[in-house]
Amino acid sequence: MFSDIYQLLKTRGILTRYEVLDKQLLIPLDDTEYFSSQNIHCEQCSHRTHKNGTVTYFHSAILPVIVSPQQKAVISLDPEFITPQDG
């Protein structure tokens, strides 16, 4: 869905309104946790062990957006879901 919307905005020339510094797009990254529990968890959960020994399980994602100093709105891009990895 995000890539379809991006292509539509690109085709219609709307993304050119967001270009800065030699036609570059500014894409800041933000992260968010969208699930958290001390009881419920799955194999895809990240986890955090607190000083008191309790464990909090959570899901999180990186959320990129296109921004421009000249625009009031931002354009959301595909989120990247963070999963635990070996090593």
Please give the average per-residue pLDDT across 40-47, as a whole number: 93
pTM: 0.77
Q: Which of 38, 25, 33 is nearest to 77 (CA)?
A: 25
Domain boundaries, the chain: 2-82
Q: What is the pLDDT of residues 59-85, one digit of tens each?
A: 999 999 999 999 999 999 999 999 888
